[in-house]
Structure 1
C-alpha cells in the first residue's frame, strides 16, 4: 500500500488544529435578572454521542441524543434548575431562564462524537446584571462669590451599580456638550443663559437618565442656603442662653415660694396645738353614790330629808405624748349635790 501524500497529511493536521482552536473559543454572555440567555452550539459533526454541561466545574446537565427509536434523554443535575432549563435544536443548544445574580460564572460544554477523534469543547462566561434605577444627582462643595456659582454635580445609582459607566449631557442655547464620569464641575454666573444638565448611567443590559438639573435654580437655591446658614446659626446661639436664663429664674422662684410657705405652716401648727386642749371629760362609769345623814337626828329616817352626793373619779391618762400643760381633770370634776 502506498503511503499517503504529504499534502494530505498536512491538510488533515491543519483541519484538526482549526477545529480545536474553534472549539476552545471563549464566549462572553450577559443577562438580566429575571431574564434568559441561550448557550448556542455550532458544529459540523453529524454523529453526536453525548453532551455534558458544567457550571463552575460542577455537573450541570447531560444530554443523550436520540438514536434510532430511542428518544433523547435530558438530565439536569440540580432539581431547582429543572424548570429553568430548556434544550433546543434536538438537545444541542441550552436556554437558561429566570436568571439570578448567583447564576453568573463559567459554563462549559463537552461534545463526544464518533466523527471526531477528540471531544469538542466550548466555554462561556455569563454575567447577570440588575437593571439600572434612575440616577440621583447631588451637589458637592459650593461657592458663590461675586455672582459666580461654582460647584460639582455627583451622579450615583442606588440599585444595579455593577459595571456602570456615567456620562453628562449639557444643554444650552450655544452648544451641546458631553462629559464622561460621575462628577461634573460647573460654573455659572448670574445673568447668563440658563444651562441644563442630565446624567446618563449605563451597564451592559440597561441605561437610565436623571431628571434635568437647571443651573439657575441650583445656584439660586444654593445661594439662599449659603446666606441663610449664618442667620440660622445666630438664632440658635441666642436661643440657648435665653433658655438657660429661663430655667434659672424658674428655679429661684420655686425656692422663694417654698421659703414663704414654710413659716406659715409652722405657725399654723402651733396654733392648732394650743387650741385643742388635751381634756377628757369625766366618765360617768366611775360615778359613785353615798348617803350623807342629816344633822338633825330623828329617831326615824326621813327619806324626804336624805341628801345624796355624787362623786366623779376621772380616768388616769396613760398617753405619754400628751402635753405637760394638760389641765388637772380632778379639779374640773367637782361634786354635784343632789337634794
Structure 2
C-alpha cells in the first residue's frame, strides 16, 4: 500500500505554456523516482551516486524535449502544454528504508486563452417608447469552465450583473447606456466590444413599432394597384374584341336580310 502525502492537488496550465509538479518527499534515502501520467509511466529517475550520474529515462520519445527537471531536482516541469496533457500525474518515491513508496498526485487541466466573446440579441419588444430585450454572451471556441459577467455604464454609475444573459430595458430620451460582457476561465479573461443601447433600440420611439407594422401594408399597395390595372386592361381588351365580333356578324347578316 502506498503512503500518500495528502489529497489530490489541482493544477491549471495554459495551452502552449508550462507547468511544474514539485516533489515534496520527506524520504532521506531515495533509491528511485517514477512519474506516472494516468496509467502510463512517464519518467523513471535513478538518483546520482558518488561514482555515478543520475539516470533519467523518458519512456515516450515525443515527451523527451518537453520534460525538464529544474535545478537538478526531482520536480517535473512539462513544457509546450497540449490539451491532452490534462489528467492525473503521480510521483512515486521509492526507498530501501520503506516497504511502500511515498506518493503525491496532481490533477492537471489545460485551458485555452479566451478569445473575444460573442454577443447576440434576443427578441426585441418596443412598446410606448421602451426597448426591452436580452443580450447573450458566449464563446465560439475554448469555452471550458467559462464564467460571464456584465457591466452597464451610464445613468449615474456602473452596474454589474453575473451570468451570460443580460436583460435590458431602455427608454427613448434616457441617457445612453453601454454594455460590456467579460468572459473568464481559470487562466485568462477577455471582453466584448462596447454595445450602445441606442444602436440596439433604434425603433424604440412610439412611431417605430407603428412603422414596422404599417410598412408591409404600404409595400403591398403598389402590388395590388398593378394587379388591378392589368385586370382592367384585359377586361377592356376582351370587351373591344366582343364589340368587333358583333359588328362583323351584323355586317354579314344585314345583306342577307335586304
TM-score range, shorter chain: 0.7 to 0.9
Deviations along 1:268-288, one digit per CA (max 9) or x if unpaired, are xxxxxxxxxxxxxxxxxxxxx
Partner of 2:44: 62
Correspondences of 1:300-339 after superposition (within 5 Å): none
Deviations along 1:258-309, one digit per CA (max 9) or x if unpaired, are xxxxxxxxxxxxxxxxxxxxxxxxxxxxxxxxxxxxxxxxxxxxxxxxxxxx
TM-score (norm 1): 0.61
TM-score (norm 2): 0.79
Task: In structure 2, list runs of 5 or more residues that go unmatched.
Answer: 231-258
Which of 149, 155, 158 is equivalent to 2:140? 158
SS of the residue 2:143 aligns to: coil
CA RMSD of the aligned region, Å? 2.8
Contact 1:106-1:125 within 8 A present in 2 as well: yes
Partner of 1:201: 183
**What is the rounded CA distance, in whole Å, between the counterparts of 2:138 and 2:195 in structure 1?**
14
SS of the residue 2:69 aligns to: strand
Partner of 1:210: 192
Q: How many pairs align?
A: 227
Q: Which of the pair has more CA radius of gyration?
A: 1
Partner of 1:231: 215
Deviation at 1:78, TM superposition (A): 1.1
**Whose relative contact order is higher, 1 or 2, with alpha carbons under 8 Å and at least 6 apart?**
2
Which of 95, 102, 105 is equivalent to 1:123? 105
Contact 2:23-2:91 within 8 A present in 1 as well: no
Which of 144, 168, 179 is equivalent to 1:186? 168
Higher strand share: 2
Partner of 1:51: 33
Contact 1:132-1:160 within 8 A present in 2 as well: yes
Deviation at 1:25, TM superposition (A): 2.5
